[in-house]
Amino acid sequence: MEQPSGQAPRAALAARLATLKLGEAFEQDEIDTLAGYLLESAFPAGTVVIQEGRKANSLAFIEDGVVTIQKEDTGAPERHIIELSRDAVIGEIAFFDNAPRSATVVARTDVRLLVLTREDFDAMVEASPRLAIKILFCIGQVLSRRLRQVSGRFVGLLA
């Protein structure tokens, strides 16, 4: 994800965005606007999409495919955390805290992503603040669901 493939034609990108769960939260004119801020990126199976520890400031919505989230452990092989697929968001932690990537993401299958860089998000904030707020709420919902899942697992480990 560190090197997005480029910008697909905006209308085609908007049509694909509308088919994602993310698209359900927006009106068609908002989808059209949002498409102008997204880059398309594709990775073949087995490719590292995000490398833990690298500096980056983008997030991505999975349009197609499956990725594995892995966490490095000193002196041990990487540990599989979870698999994510269509409609999931990846890279959001570094997007918000501007710190190095917290995990490695590997394409388990061929993967197609819609990437939002921090720079493009900041431009969206200036040009379309209401749209930017809606994006933040969508990402916040994803983070809340993940935190609930992790909390549930943690409690299960303590029992």
C-beta of residue 107 within 8 angstroms of C-beta of residue 43 = yes
% residues pLDDT > 90 (the chain): 70
The pLDDT of 83-90, averaged and rounded, is 94
pLDDT of 114 over the 70 cut:
yes
Which stretch of DSSP H or E encloses residue 133? helix 129-158
Which 3 state secondary structure label does DSSP give 132? helix
d(CA 29, CA 18): 11
pLDDT of 77 over the 90 cut:
no
Residue carrying structure tokens 């965005």:
17
Q: What is the pTM of this model?
A: 0.86
C-beta of residue 101 within 8 angstroms of C-beta of residue 56 = yes
The pLDDT of 96-100, averaged and rounded, is 91
C-beta of residue 41 within 8 angstroms of C-beta of residue 5 = yes
Higher pLDDT, 2 or 130: 130
Say what the alpha-carbon torsion angle 73, 145, 56, 27 is, to the nearest 10 degrees. Answer: 160
Main-chain phi, psi angles of 158, to 5 degrees:
-80, -25
Nearest one of 40, 6, 113 to 105, comparing CA atoms:
113
Higher pLDDT, 98 or 47: 47
Q: What is the per-residue pLDDT across 5-34, written as a single tens digit (0 to 9) for each?
A: 555 688 999 999 999 999 999 999 999 999
Confidence of residue 2 (pLDDT cuts 50, 70, 90): very low
User: Which range, of 46-60, 93-107, 113-127, 137-151, averages the lowest pLDDT?
Assistant: 137-151
